[in-house]
Amino acid sequence: MQTIPHPNHIGPAIDPANRESLIHWLCWNDPNGTYTDDACTTEGIDQLTLKEALEIYGRQTEEL
């Protein structure tokens, strides 16, 4: 797994080409968010794509 740290990155290492890795980090960073496939299904929303997960990761790390 190749990990690329964001300049503001904290928490678990991520693989930016791996959707599950990003979702794991998003859940760690925002435990109340709706990121997992199960949570999305429960909320009646589409599951996150890799592109969407990357965009959310980028926004959340900019806020750190």
pLDDT for 9 equals: 57
In degrees rounded to 5, what are phi and psi of residue 57? Answer: -55, -45
Q: Could you tell me which residues come within 8 angstroms of residue 46 by beta carbon, excluding any fewer than 6 positions away?
A: 40
Q: Flag whether pLDDT at 19 surpasses 90.
A: yes
Structure tokens at 46: 């589409």
23-43 pLDDT, tens digit each: 999 999 999 999 999 999 999
43-59 pLDDT, tens digit each: 999 999 999 999 999 99
